[in-house]
A and B are shown apart, each in its own frame.
Chain A
Amino acid sequence: MRGSSRLVLTAVSVAIGILLAIQIRSAGELTSTVPDLRTSEMRVMLMEAMRHNQVLQEDLEALRQKVREYERTVTQGVGALGLLRTELDRARLLAGITPVRGPGLVVTLSDSKKPAVQGDDPRLFVIHDEDILKLINVLRAAGAEALSINGERLLATTEIHCAGPTVSINNMRIAPPFVVSAIGNAAAMESSLRMRGGIVEVLGYFGMEVTITQHNALEIQGYTRPLRFEWAKPIEGR
């Protein structure tokens, strides 16, 4: 081997060695550490947040219990305070923060299980926020007094809004199947749902699965998270 060739080959060898080492290190980082670390980190954060949430929820429940206790002791007896208490209970019932029981319906909506046909718009075969809105509207028209969707109590401020593959209700993401509970006149509500050209028929046309069951003593949970009114303030003296 001549001198110059030896020199060139050695120099190139060193360069390739450096590059190879960098490549090996980069590839190692790429495949193993980065995404794993990220996901496990996120998982820990999520668990932490959920635990925190749980604790706060329990605190809230305890505080509520205390408030109820105070009310009971303060308003014991009759007269003006007793009246005030009945008024308060009525307001709570209207606001939807008390759990309620009564006769009613449970309506379950599931996405279509029809096999997809080429050329059909797949959006026609899933439950949309608008379908739920229509259903809720029909139930209310038939006299539903308390409503919940997958355990989320419907309030005056509740939104039923499309959120990607899910539906946002009370700012919670709800995924199908949607279980709508309604307390009211069960027979009236069921017949307005099953009306000719009504919502059950329309949804059934697209293969959506709608089941309706009547219950004698249906329970609907109250809304448990804090209610905040940031913008609307009551006008004094009215």
Chain B
Amino acid sequence: MLLPLFGLLLGLTLGFFLEFSVPPHLAPYTAVALLAAFDSLLGGLRAALEKHFDDNIFVTGLLSNTLLAALLAFVGDRIGINLYLAALVAFGVRIFQNLALIRRLVLVRSK
């Protein structure tokens, strides 16, 4: 449970020292994609705690969510409506749900 958390912190520090930045016009897409990836990560954690984690499901879910979110943002930009809001709301809600479940599972386990 703690290892992914450390991984996240490690990644954050690494990222801050990396000399690489997103081109400004692509930033909205990567932001939504990142949210999708984060949602997948929490979903994976939850599945691991519920003991039905599957590598294939996790990886394919992660990729498809990320790509779909970026695609949605892109298409929304082309047709002039803020389609990325759909991804934002959907993934936002799921992040909170997953977080709540993880909290419960951890608390139950530690009892």
- Where the two chains meet, the residues of A that have a C-beta atom closer than 8 Å to any C-beta of B are 1-2, 4-6, 8-23, 25-27, 29-30, 34
Q: Chain A interface secondary structure, helix, strand, loop or mixed? A: helix
With both beta carbons as reference points, the residue of chain B lying nearest to A15 in the complex is identified as B11
- Inter-subunit contact B27/A27 (CB<8 Å): yes
A30→B49 CA distance, assembly (Å): 38
Q: How many A-B residue pairs have CB under 8 A?
A: 116
CB-CB nearest 5 A-B residue pairs: A17-B11, A21-B15, A13-B7, A18-B15, A14-B11
- Inter-subunit contact B58/A13 (CB<8 Å): no
A105→B87 CA distance, assembly (Å): 67
- Where the two chains meet, the residues of B that have a C-beta atom closer than 8 Å to any C-beta of A are 1, 3-16, 18, 20-22, 24, 27, 30-31, 34, 37-38, 40-41, 44-45, 47-49, 53, 55, 58-59, 62
14 further A-B contacts with Cβ under 8 Å, apart from A9-B48, A14-B8, A16-B37, are A1-B53, A8-B55, A12-B44, A14-B11, A16-B11, A16-B41, A19-B37, A20-B12, A21-B18, A22-B22, A25-B16, A26-B21, A27-B27, A29-B24
A residues near B16, Cβ cutoff 8 Å: 21, 25
Can you name 22 A-B residue pairings with CB atoms under 8 Å?
A1-B1, A4-B55, A5-B58, A8-B44, A9-B3, A10-B3, A12-B62, A13-B7, A13-B41, A16-B11, A17-B9, A17-B11, A18-B15, A18-B18, A19-B11, A19-B37, A20-B11, A21-B18, A22-B15, A22-B21, A25-B16, A26-B21
From A2, A9, A13, A17, give the contact of B15 (CB < 8 A): A17
With both beta carbons as reference points, the residue of chain B lying nearest to A30 in the complex is identified as B24
B residues near A23, Cβ cutoff 8 Å: 22, 27, 30-31, 34
Task: Write the nearest CB–CB distance from B30 to chain A, whole angstroms.
Answer: 6
- Inter-subunit contact B34/A17 (CB<8 Å): no
Task: Write the nearest CB–CB distance from B21 to chain A, whole angstroms.
Answer: 4
- Inter-subunit contact A5/B30 (CB<8 Å): no
From A9, A20, A27, give the contact of B44 (CB < 8 A): A9
